[in-house]
Amino acid sequence: MSKTKIIAVSVKKGGEGKTTLSTNQSALLAKSGAKTLLIDLDPQGHVIHVFGQDPKKLQHTIYTVLKGNTDLKDVVIENIVPNLDILPSNNELDYFIAEPGGSKRVGNLITKIAESGKYKYIVIDTAPAFNNITYEIYDRSDLVLIPFTCSNHAEEALNDIVKALPVLTEVNNKVQLLIVPNKYKLLARNGVESKNSMYKQSLDAQKENVRNNKNIIIGNFISLSDQYNIAEVYEQLPLVLVKKQTKSMLKPISEQEELLKNIVKLLVNKK
């Protein structure tokens, strides 16, 4: 039996498109036929909201599992779309994060699910934070996706992760980080991107920053698009699962599909 691959989507700063990335990539994995579990570790609970449900109305979540009040099997929402299960969250998780030993219990739960062999992929949508739970997730992940919006504040958040990488990889030195330039605005003239583009300058700076780090790779960019929100509001689905696709949807969907190819290639090549 092949080992379950764990993919975390993690960034210290909010507003980077973390949940959009995790829901669309999970949906594509499931669409490819791979049994996938999407774990929401963000107390905002936005993952389940993407699929048209209100996280505030959930009686049982990952929080009640971690507290030992409910069994995992009674909380996981199975086949919310074919091949995709969700372990949801809501703001109750805020109460748990500060509890002594809480982060270790999160890590143990992820390990338990992975070792069950039920899923080919586990995707984890983390909170926009950098804490002990972050370390537990990095410790267990094969690949960490870091959405990066090429802004000053995003650069600071990314630099913090790069600086902490020696500690993060102390136990799991095989984890790879895939930086995903997200909400990217391509400012071009005659089909050639402007060298003066703020986005290009920011991205070039990060390429130089991580150039000598074998654990960090920069992937294809994901363009800024309102189609993600349109899909969530009107279809109550991640964009990549919308059946009646408009012309405006084709480019962002293609970019997500290209990103998935890079993800799978990285995971296949991992020793």
Instruction: Summarize the confidence of residues 79-91 as an average pLDDT.
Output: 96
* pLDDT tens, position by position, 143-185: 999 888 766 666 676 777 777 777 777 767 788 888 888 777 6
Greater confidence, 189 or 106? 106
Encoded tokens for 43: 């107390």
Identify whether the C-beta of residue 141 lies closer than 8 Å to the C-beta of residue 8: yes
Encoded tokens for 230: 């349109």
Instruction: Summarize the confidence of residues 96-112 as an average pLDDT.
Output: 89
159: exposed, middle or buried (Cβ count in 10 Å: 0-12, 13-18, 19+): middle
Encoded tokens for 232: 């969530």
Query: Could you tell me which of 22, 61, 29 has the C-alpha nearest to residue 45?
Result: 61
Proportion of the chain above pLDDT 70, given as a percent: 85
**105 phi, psi to nearest 5 deg:** -65, -35
- Strand bridging mode 188-189 / 192-193: antiparallel
* pLDDT tens, position by position, 179-229: 888 777 655 455 554 545 666 676 676 677 667 777 788 888 888 899 999
Instruction: Summarize the confidence of residues 99-116 as an average pLDDT.
Output: 92
CA distances from 146 to 124, 175, 219, 258 (A): 12, 13, 10, 16
Flag whether pLDDT at 72 surpasses 90: yes
pLDDT at position 152 is 62
Flag whether pLDDT at 128 surpasses 90: no
What's the CA gap between 47 and 52, in Å, rounded? 9
| Average pLDDT along the chain | 86
